[in-house]
Amino acid sequence: MTTVAESAPVKQQTARRRRISPQARRRNLEGWLFASPWIIGFLVWTLGPMLASLFIALTNWDLITTPQFVGMSNFETMFSDDLFWQSLKVTSVYALVSVPLHIIFGFGLAWLLNANIRGLRFYRTAFYLPSVLSGVAVALLWRWLFSTEFGLFNTLLSYVGIHGPSWLGDPRWALPSLVFMSLWGVGAGAIIYLAGLQGIPTDLYEAADVDGAGTWTKLWKITLPMMTPVLFFQLVTGIIA
């Protein structure tokens, strides 16, 4: 009886604590209102199309007639198609080559731009500018550079007596050309790396200077470990892209 009598006030206090005050409810409502545009956009433009694509993948539908449920037949056709595996192979090779190059060149560029040199603002703007250009303009530019007849690359090769290949038409050169083309936007990643570099405490470098550490030692022992979260973020976003 004593235990039951003592537990009753405890339950009452717990119930009082669980009661939400009007101010807290108002704050919660305001939070949901602020988050509602993103939630609605996610439901309409992300989750909705994902569920719709999953349903369509299980049907035979030409957008005109009534959909016919076929189960896993479409997936069986896809996995038995050699073109699917070839596309998967090319995409994997592209990711394995392009993503590390983006990380290496982006981080290296940010490391150079983080130095205290003259005209640093100009260099930062110049390297970041290509990443904000129109996609159509960039595509036309690279099409001209890779053109077989009057492209810049083949023209330069012709000056030394080399007949340039069909960069985008030859299977041997198409993938390397696309990887090289993707490095055009390395400046966007460099800005993120630069922000991470500027967030590293200078006390660490000052202490390393007192100990007589060189540039490469500070890079391996301080810069890279402190930049691990940024490098991991760029790795994940690069694979997703």
Query: Residue 34: what are its φ and ψ, rounded to 5°?
Result: -65, -35
Q: How far apart are CA 204 and CA 210, in angstroms?
A: 10
Helix (H, G, I), strand (E, B) or coil at 66: coil
Question: Taking a C-beta distance cutoff of 8 angstroms, is the pair 148, 170 a contact?
Answer: no
Q: What global pTM score does this model have?
A: 0.70
| Residue environment code for 211-230, b if the CB has 16+ CB neighbours within 10 A, otherwise e | eebeeeebeeebbeeebeeb
Q: What tokens appear for 17 in the block?
A: 């604590």
Helix (H, G, I), strand (E, B) or coil at 22: helix
Residues 6+ apart with CB under 8 A from 154: 147, 148, 163, 164, 167
Question: Taking a C-beta distance cutoff of 8 angstroms, is the pair 124, 113 a contact?
Answer: yes
Residues 6+ apart with CB under 8 A from 191: 110, 124, 128
- Write out the CATH class of domain 82-240: mainly alpha
104-124 pLDDT per residue, tens: 999 999 988 887 777 778 888
Q: How far apart are CA 231 and CA 224, in angstroms?
A: 9
Residue 113: Cβ-neighbour burial (10 angstroms; 0-12, 13-18, 19+):
buried
Q: How far apart are CA 19 and CA 223, in angstroms?
A: 49
- Render each residue's pLDDT in the chain as its tens digit; 241 residues: 445 444 555 555 555 556 777 778 888 888 889 989 999 999 999 999 999 999 999 999 888 888 899 989 999 999 999 999 999 999 999 999 999 999 999 999 998 888 777 777 888 888 888 877 777 888 888 888 998 888 899 999 989 888 888 888 888 899 999 999 888 888 888 888 988 998 888 888 888 888 888 888 888 988 899 999 999 999 988 888 7
**Domain segments of the chain: what residues?**
7-78, 82-240
Q: How far apart are CA 9 and CA 136, in angstroms?
A: 71
174-215 pLDDT per residue, tens: 999 999 988 888 888 888 898 899 888 888 888 888 888 888
pLDDT for the residue 8: 52
